[in-house]
Amino acid sequence: MKRLQTATVVNHSIPATINNGDAIIANQIDTHGFRGGELLVVCQFGAIHASATFDSISLQSSDASGSGFADVTGCVVGTSTLADSSGTSVNFAGGDDDGASVVFHVSLDESQKRYFQVSVSESGSQAVVISAVALILPGGTDIGTGLVTSATTGAGHQQVLIAS
């Protein structure tokens, strides 16, 4: 059996609207049984109003379910750099970023915690639609080295962040 056929898909967050200080933290991602594998979390944005203001977009992890979550190093939009080794800072989505996505990638080695969640908060007064889905790949699955990162802004752009 091909390893990808044993992957698990987790609907982390159904499309939801956030605004006015809202935060979206939906289902936790339990990686039990996938040590040595890979975790990919895709956050997809819908229409983003020009005055939308994001306080944070990050992937968080914890050893315990439901508490103790903290940002994963290398997976914080605004402070982390792109996965393509360019050193380009990952920008917050803005008004020209309709349909943009942010992809978080974590190698599930012994240094990583068991539970993960996406944390997004928006403090502006404009509604933003976001959803997130996770793909957990078993050990031995090669996701490849050709991660494609398009422009860091603009409609439909994609930014890939890798935990360090």
pLDDT in tens, 80-106: 777 777 777 777 656 667 778 888 999
Q: Which of 11-20, 43-52, 67-76 has the lowest mean pLDDT?
A: 11-20
Range of the domain at 124: 3-162
How confident is residue 1, by pLDDT bands cut at 50, 70 and 90? Answer: very low
Structurally, how many domains does the chain consist of? 1
> What is the domain-level CATH number for residue 92?
2.60.120.680
Tokens of 68: 């103790």
The pLDDT of residue 62? 95
Instruction: Give strand ranges (E) for 63-163.
Output: 70-76, 101-107, 115-122, 128-137, 158-162
Q: Residue 145: pLDDT above 50? A: no
The pLDDT of residue 103? 87
